[in-house]
Amino acid sequence: LDSFSFRVANLLVDNERNEACLEITLTGLRLKALSESVIAITGGDLSPSLNGEPIEMWSTHLLFEDDVISFKRVRSGCRAYLSIGGGFLVPTVMGSRSTYLYGKFGGLEGRPLRKEDILYRPDRPSPLHRLGVRFSKEWLPLPEKETTLRVIPGPQDHHFKEKGFQTFCSSAYRVSPQCDRMGVRLEGPKIERRFDVEESIISEGLISGSIQVPGDGKPIIILTELVTGGYTKIATIITIDLPKVAQLKPGDQIRFKPISIEEAHSLLMEQEGRLKDFRESLQHSF
């Protein structure tokens, strides 16, 4: 879900961009190393520790046999990402190693991890040359008490009253307990639609970041495990803000801020430039 944290986690341990990582939601995970490995942890701060001692995030660490990594409590965000040098050995399905829980395929048998599961990595040397590497904290989003999500209006914003769109842009919304990898349902003011248009449209494919408004007027943000839908979409979250959505948890408060597509492109190019600079700095350093 948090593609930025996922990419940085793989960069830190010298993996290919789409090597499999572990996505850890909230707390409770405990992992034991069965061999020497280089890892990195990015994303939300779930209080990671190594053998009971806190360890730095957005940095590489060396694990020895029998070392234990655990995640104890949520400090910020919702999901952390753990990468391992060489990646995890899981099958590729349609070019991806991710797990699709609703379809029950990909990853490890298409399911969440269970107690006593064993994950393997390729039989090759750990990237010890990456030990001590850190990702610049200056490039990370600043913590927000109220998360601002930038959006491009449309494609069906014309289905809503001007007052309804103003409500959407000016109101605070709260993340409801009804949130998962498919979508985030929000609680807040009702968005008024026009009376002279249909409440629903012909079902069509959706993209990550689509914001649907069903009959009750409460928005739903669509995430990675996509569906088709016939609800009108008032706006779409810009690409670089999708990782913010991945880190939302029930009770968090958000606001929407419309921007132009030109601004969205500029922000994305700026982020891609920073990641390119970081990747090149690692290549030149080793």
User: What CATH number is attached to the domain comprising 199?
Assistant: 2.40.100.10
Q: Which domain holds residue 63?
A: 3-139
Q: Is residue 282's pLDDT more than 90?
A: no
Of residues 201, 211, 197, 193, the one with CA closest to residue 258: 211
- State the pLDDT confidence band at 285, using cuts at 50, 70 and 90: low
Compare 7 and 230 and report the one with higher pLDDT: 7
Q: Cβ neighbours of residue 95 under 8 Å, at least 6 residues apart?
A: none
Q: pLDDT per residue over 159-217, tens digit each?
A: 788 899 999 999 999 999 988 888 899 999 999 888 777 766 777 788 899 999 988 89
Backbone angles phi, psi at 214, to 5 degrees: -75, -170
Are residues 133 and 236 part of one domain? no
Preceding omega of 243 cis (within 30 degrees of 0): no
- What pLDDT, on a 0 to 100 scale, did the predictor assign at position 211? 94
In this structure, are residues 28 and 71 in contact, taking their beta carbons and an 8 Å threshold? yes
Burial of 175 (0-12, 13-18, 19+ CB in 10 A): buried
Are residues 31 and 121 part of one domain? yes
Q: pLDDT per residue over 54-108, tens digit each?
A: 999 999 999 999 999 999 889 999 999 999 999 999 988 888 888 888 888 888 8
Match 């986690």 to its residue by tokens.
9
Q: How many domains does one find in the chain?
A: 2
One-letter amino acid for residue 268 of the chain: L
Are residues 169 and 91 part of one domain? no
Q: pLDDT per residue over 104-138, tens digit each?
A: 888 888 898 999 999 998 887 788 888 889 998 88
Helices 3-12 and 261-285: crossing angle, nearest 10°?
10
On whether residue 127 sits in a domain, the answer given is yes
Structural domain ending residue among the three candidates 139, 161, 182: 139
Beta bridge partners of 230: none
d(Cα 160, Cα 256) in Å, to the nearest integer?
Answer: 16
Are residues 208 and 84 part of one domain? no
Q: What is the mean pLDDT of residues 39-66?
A: 96
Are residues 62 and 10 part of one domain? yes
As a three-state string, the secondary structure of 117-184 is: CCCCCCCCCCCHHHCCCECCHHHCCCCCCEEEEEEEECCCHHHECHHHHHHHHHCCEEEEEEECCCEE
On whether residue 284 sits in a domain, the answer given is no
